[in-house]
Structure 1
Amino acid sequence: MKRITAIIVTLALLTVALSVGLAGTGSAQSVPENPVTNDTQDATETPESDGVVAYIDGQTRILNQSYNQEAGTVSLVIESDGPQRITVSDGGFLADGKSGHIPTQSVRGSGKHTITVSVTQVDGMIAVGITTQASNYGHVIEPKRTSIWERTNSRDGWLGGVSVTIAMGFVAAYRVKNNDPDSPEEPE
């Protein structure tokens, strides 16, 4: 009976260890750090300490961003120093395998604008394309996580199950090989 208990405890510990170890191996697609812009102005990410989430070009910047998971929308507060047309589009629409009209919202003018657009979440990430007169800028928004399991998928589950099965096979083979058949059984 002690052997069965030891095997069950070993199996449980291996399962927990592998589950925690595999939780961070979700398949996220990489996004380039520097978006494509024109040669004269760069779009760069900055710390939020100056109140700016990201600079799109020399006269346009994102001041605030929010994601509404229930509605599937992103709201961006964008400020422009000069009059121009600003267009925000769903960047995950095509990556999700869809074809058709890409959800887009546009505003014209200078100053602060709040733009809300429907978005598609792909591999736990949301991307929007922002077009101005001087730049085409890709902006990635990572929603807040509520669980460590959100970034895992079916492949990770199968990998964990196969790993535990192989590990238990090695444990069983070791126990069979090193068991002395002439040793007395311990009473329970």
Structure 2
Amino acid sequence: MTRIKGVPHGDAGLLTRAVYRFARREFGAVPEPVTVMAHHPRLLLASGRHELAVKKAVHGPLAELCVYRTAVKLGCSWCVDFGAMLMKHGGLDIARLRHIDSYATSELFTDLERKALAYADAMTDTPVTVTDEQVAELEELLGRRELVALTYEIALENQRARFNSAFGIADQGFTSGDACRVPTH
């Protein structure tokens, strides 16, 4: 149960209802963080625009894996659930997600993935523990553009997970039972 109740469809204004319709079409259900953020419609719209822009600009299996790791590290069950669903529908191997806590020693993860996941952990630590060596090594492996994109995705997931955790937004069941509700296109 969230710490504040989301805005029900019947109480939502026109703009929020449009956002709810879009979310239901995209994800099969309205994500609970959307209903909570709907208490501030202008912020909901800004967040939605931002998420769509980021989705177009930055995406890929390495970023998805690091975003998932960040959600796990922060204990955001909603982000873990939703992220696993998105990765499943993106065709990624989600079976290895069960081993995410042992990424540093697991043969299921490549050397690049291990380095990127360690970077995600360091970015998520409080205080942040990223080293010059980590940045230099990832810049060499990924290039500046991809390193900036990866860093942005990890930072954004920190924001999402912390928002959800502050409001007690928990697993919505996107990957359980008959869920995995994202329509396959």
TM-score in terms of structure 2 length = 0.24
Larger relative strand fraction? 1
Larger radius of gyration: 1
Larger relative helix fraction? 2
Relative contact order, CA 8 A, sep 6+: which one is greater? 2
